[in-house]
Amino acid sequence: MGLLSKLKQDLPTDAKGEEDRIGGGPQIKESDAYPMTVKLAYLTVAASGANGLVIHAECEDSSEYRNTEWITSGTAKGCKTYYEYQGEKRYLQGFINADAICQVITGKGILDQHEEERVVKLWNKDAKAEVPTPVAAIPDLIGKKFIAGIVKKRENKTVKDNNGNYVKTAETREINELNKVFSEDGLTVTELAAGQTEASHINAWVDRFKDVVIDKVDKDAAPAPVQAAGGSAPATAGASSLFGNRK
């Protein structure tokens, strides 16, 4: 049984999921809706035990977009696809995004996708180069198109303190975040489920977010603490025993 099949067994039916609402790669993109083609899609596991969907895609201007959507929490929180807030179960935003990508491309959610072992070149920190790496690929996404509603955010950089906790520093960075997913025709998961053929939410989304920079900087953050020698190992992409016995 693959990872997705295992997660599907544990999937709550009463968790809050995808909604149509306007809420708040190395190359940082301006906030906008970007049509793109998936070049690579595979599952990964972080050092924390969190499971993610990695997407490598190419935009219409030939620029690259790479992103990981974390579809579960880490081991410490039970590797769940959801969290609870005020007595209500809510799917993780990473799960919602990954599920939406799969829905608008294949008509099936992330946990219904077929996993296939492939060997691809990925960056290896020890080799300091891209090396052939086995991954659990999602073949039905590869070569397909969708539109990514990407926002540009400014936030504090974080580092681990001597207790192993991540803390904000006074240094800042700009990042891209996947905020909304649309089909190649501009339809949302909600619109597709309703049988709509004319996209409308994408226009409201672009009006709200195009060229906007979302500022999340905490100006009171302290300078970075001195790191103790020999810190924790970072998250590692690639295959895991969780992906054994794939379909």
pLDDT per position as a tens digit, 149-197: 999 999 999 998 888 888 999 999 999 999 999 999 999 999 999 999 9
Indicate the pLDDT class of residue 226, thresholds 50, 70 and 90.
Answer: low
Indicate the pLDDT class of residue 53, thresholds 50, 70 and 90.
Answer: very high
Structural contact between residues 116 and 246, judged by C-beta atoms closer than 8 angstroms = yes
Q: How far apart are CA 26 and CA 197, in angstroms?
A: 35
The tokens describing 110, both together, are 């992330």
Give me the pLDDT at residue 4, please.
Answer: 81
Q: How far apart are CA 50 and CA 221, in angstroms?
A: 27
Q: How far apart are the first and last CA of the chain?
A: 7
Indicate the pLDDT class of residue 244, thresholds 50, 70 and 90.
Answer: very low
The tokens describing 34, both together, are 């970007």
Give me the pLDDT at residue 39, please.
Answer: 97
Name which residue leads in pLDDT, 241 or 187.
Answer: 187
Above 70 in pLDDT, residue 241? no
Give me the pLDDT at residue 150, please.
Answer: 98
Pairing of strands 88-91, 51-59: unpaired
Q: What is the mean pLDDT of the chain?
A: 87
CA dihedral 159, 165, 169, 172 (to 10 degrees): 60
Indicate the pLDDT class of residue 19, thresholds 50, 70 and 90.
Answer: low
The residue-averaged pLDDT of 78-86 equals 95
Render pLDDT for 121-150 as a digit per residue (tens, 0 to 9). Answer: 998 989 999 999 999 999 999 999 999 999
Above 80 in pLDDT, residue 10? no
Q: How far apart are CA 37 and CA 60, in angstroms?
A: 8
pTM here is 0.78
